[in-house]
Amino acid sequence: MSDVDRNIFNADEFRTQIVNPEVQRQLIEMYPAETGTLLERARLALEKGDAIELHQAAHLLKGVVGNYLGTRAFRATTELDRLARIPDLEEARNAFLKCEAEVKRLERALLGFLDNLQKTG
C-alpha cells in the first residue's frame, strides 16, 4: 500500500484508528455504495438546479469521505459543499467533477488496501 499517496488514502492512520481488520474490511466494503448514492444525489441536484439538495448530499458525502482519511477527496467534497451553500451552481458543476474523481480515486485506494488485507489476513 506504500505506493498510494497519503493524500489519497493514509493507510497507516486508518490502521491506527480502526485496529480490527474485520471492521476495516466492513467499512471499506460499504464505501462504494455509500459514496455512489451520495454522488448520484448530488448529480441529480445539479441537474435540477437544487442548491439545498446539493448541499445536503455534499455535506453527507464530506462526512463519509472524512471517515476514510482521504485528504484529497475530503477537500474536494468540502469545496462542493461550500459552493452549494453560497449557492454557486455553475462553479459547483466543475467542483462536482473533481469531487467525483477524487471520491473514485479514494475508492480504488481503499479496494487496493482491502485486497492486500485479504491476502495477508
Distant-in-sequence, close-in-space partners of 7: CB < 8 Å, separation ≥ 6? 70, 71, 72
Residue with cell 480490527: 20
How much is the pLDDT for 121? 59
How much is the pLDDT for 4? 66
Q: What global pTM score does this model have?
A: 0.91
Q: How far is CA 28 from the centre of its chain?
A: 11
Examine residue 3 and state whether it is found in any structural domain, yes or no. Answer: no
The predicted model gives 78-89 an average pLDDT of: 96
Examine residue 95 and state whether it is found in any structural domain, yes or no. Answer: yes
User: Which CATH number characterizes residue 90's domain?
Assistant: 1.20.120.160
Count of domains for the chain: 1
List the domain range (segments joined by +) for residue 82: 11-120
Best-predicted range by mean pLDDT among 12-21, 96-105, 108-117? 96-105
Rounded CA-CA distance 119/117 in Å is 5
Task: Check if the beta carbon of residue 82 is closer than 8 Å to that of residue 96.
Answer: no
Examine residue 1 and state whether it is found in any structural domain, yes or no. Answer: no
Q: What is the pLDDT of residues 11-54, one digit of tens each?
A: 999 999 999 999 999 999 999 999 999 999 999 999 999 999 99
The predicted model gives 79-101 an average pLDDT of: 97
